[in-house]
Amino acid sequence: MNTAITVVIPAYNEEKYIGKCLRAVRNAAKYVTPNNVEIIVVANRCTDRTADIARRYGAKVIKNEKKCIAAVRNAGIKAAGGKIIVTIDADSQMTKYSLAEISSKLESRNYVGGGTNPKFDRMSIGIAVSTLYVAVNLIPVMIKNGGYLSGAMFWFYKTDFNAIGGFDETLVSLEDMDFAQRLKAHGKKSGRKYGTLKRSYVLTSTRKFDEFGDWYLIKNHKLTKRIFTGKDRQAADKFYYDVRSKKRA
């Protein structure tokens, strides 16, 4: 099979969400050439039914045991057969025209790749204030990296991914912002810009708020700021990497 697009999905104990994510990918594949869309789920330290559910939906499953989302994404992309790579989190859903819009933008040769704007699947005052708080505190980081660049669901050619060395595995958080900045700089060399999908978006779960509470980021602002450094392993483990493993212990 000559795969045109590979969708890479990192998944850490995602049995509750992975089915919704995969159904959305398969639906979006209908608007390109379905047989040319490969799905890779990277099962990261999973102890639940994530891998079994992924295989049921026709996804290729590979395993990765590192507590580093950059390494998990890199592993999936390395195994990808597609020329175009799309990355999306397992608790998120792409909208139906996402793959078609991505293909159109990249094939125009005007874009090196880009990201997608997210929308939460529910909203509250706490979530709204927390989102604003995060945005304000990330302003210095964004200014340092050349301004706001969308993330949530990245899309790019595998050749460009390889050219910039993939996601930085020395980072345990903010690896997405770093990747976007380097992809943008790489594209500038060849006259291609970093883009954001206009017609499509990503519907993402409020899982973190459901787990910790809608005001958690505000109440624990010191931990939040530590996560913003990108290299605080203890903070990243507490907020990302060890959360569901502890609940299952």
User: What confidence tens digit (pLDDT) does each residue in 3-25 have?
Assistant: 699 999 999 999 999 999 999 99
- Select the more confidently predicted residue: 197 or 248: 197
Give me the pLDDT at residue 249, please: 35
Which CATH number does the domain 5-248 belong to among 2.60.120.260, 3.90.1010.10, 3.90.1170.50, 3.90.550.10?
A: 3.90.550.10
Cβ neighbour number for residue 60 with a 10 Å cutoff = 16
Q: What is the pLDDT averaged over residues 120-135? A: 93
Beta strand 193-196 with 84-87 is unpaired
Give me the pLDDT at residue 60, please: 98
Give me the pLDDT at residue 224, please: 84
Domain parsing of the chain, residue ranges: 5-248
Task: Name the pLDDT band for 135 (thresholds 50, 70, 90).
Answer: confident
Percentage of the residues of the chain whose pLDDT score is greater than 70: 94
Give me the pLDDT at residue 228, please: 79
> Are 89 and 151 a contacting pair, CB within 8 Å?
no
User: What confidence tens digit (pLDDT) does each residue in 50-95 have?
Assistant: 999 999 999 999 999 999 999 999 999 999 999 999 999 999 999 9
Task: Name the pLDDT band for 203 (thresholds 50, 70, 90).
Answer: very high
State yes or no: pLDDT of 1 exceeds 80.
Answer: no
